Amino acid sequence: MFQAILLNKNEDGSTKAEITTLDAPPLPQEGEVTVAIDYSTINYKDGLAITGKAPVVRKWPMVPGIDGAGEVLASSHADWKAGDAFILNGWGVGETHSGCLAGHATLKGEWLIPRPAGMSARTAMSIGTAGYTAMLCVMALTEQGVTPESGEVLVTGASGGVGSIAIAILAGRGYKVVASTGKMDEAAYLQSLGAAEVIDRAGLAAAGKPFQKERWAGVVDSVGSHTLANAVAQVQYGGAVAACGLAQGLDFPASVAPFILRSVRLIGVDSVMAPKALRVAAWRQLATELKPEILERITQEINLADALAWAPKILAGQVRGRLVVNVKA
């Protein structure tokens, strides 16, 4: 028996979220590995699932939680045995397959990656999908030739999970990072992570000219919509933008001008279905580059019951950094 957040549909189509006790996942599960979850997280997608604000959940009833870390209990998969430490991010878990906001889960072996040596389950979830996505974005910019010598790198949605960890990674690598946020009272926090400058997101969030003064060598964007369009319009010749989020919206009201006149490159970054080799490479770098004191500055720990109250707050932009869920508490 284990505690879990369980999502059901009410008669009116709304989502009912509650803490309950289960003895098995609520849906028949395909998977060769049974795991104990020690820590999970609340990401933006989890907030959508728990509140029902978007049709994230595709099968009912559902345990949410796109991230998990813990130990293998039993396995028929060749790569995994009891006692192995793992990390799980994405793969439709918490959407079509019961997720990790629960004490136990049944998962496919190919979805899991080994937790780097010396990394605790809590640390892994302090990073979570947000930090792993941030590293994928930084890797994408690096592959496009954006170096610390290239110039300033803009990070939008800076006080969120992706933004916070992107700032820390980039600053640690020697980049001059400019943080864009709607919470200017968080400037000291963002500077403590390594931001050289903090700007108000208002300058990017409204409709702007399709071709603007060059400033950024690279951009990590988790916001989308007008923010992404304006950021692209301000990228230097030959610069690159890594886009991974839609906090402002799914739309992209932009012009082709920056792409064909400045050779700007826009790279989409997906964390959910990324191949295993890329995941392993990202997590190896995360394990060595993020200092424990930085992660603690970013992280707030909550318990499973708290997650229900925090879900709407993450959608409202009221969460700084990362929410880590102690599933056993």
Does one domain contain both 150 and 81? no
**Given pLDDT bands bounded at 50, 70 and 90, which one contains residue 26?**
confident
The answer as to whether 278 is a domain residue is no
pLDDT at residue number 24: 86
Which residues constitute the domain of residue 70?
A: 2-115+292-326
| DSSP output for 30-43 | --SEEEEEEEEE--
| pTM score | 0.94
pLDDT at residue number 30: 83
The answer as to whether 187 is a domain residue is yes
Of 20, 10, 145, 121, nearest to 67 by C-alpha is 121
Outline where the chain has alpha helix (H).
Answer: 44-51, 121-143, 161-172, 187-193, 202-205, 225-233, 257-261, 276-289, 292-298, 304-315
Across 66-75, 79-88, 229-238, 310-319, least confident range: 310-319
How far is residue 84's CA from residue 163's CA, in Å, rounded to a whole number?
31
The answer as to whether 282 is a domain residue is no
Which residue's entry shows tokens 């950024």? 216
Which residue's entry shows tokens 């925090």? 310
Across 19-28, 118-127, 242-251, 306-315, least confident range: 19-28
Does one domain contain both 147 and 179? yes
Amino acid at 81: K
Average pLDDT over residues 207-233: 97
Q: How many Å separate Cα 103 from the centre of its chain? A: 21
**Given pLDDT bands bounded at 50, 70 and 90, which one contains residue 293?**
very high
The answer as to whether 76 is a domain residue is yes
* pLDDT, tens digit (0-9, with 9 covering 90-100), for 167-184: 999 999 999 999 999 999
The torsion angles phi and psi of 39, rounded to 5 degrees, stand at: -135, 145
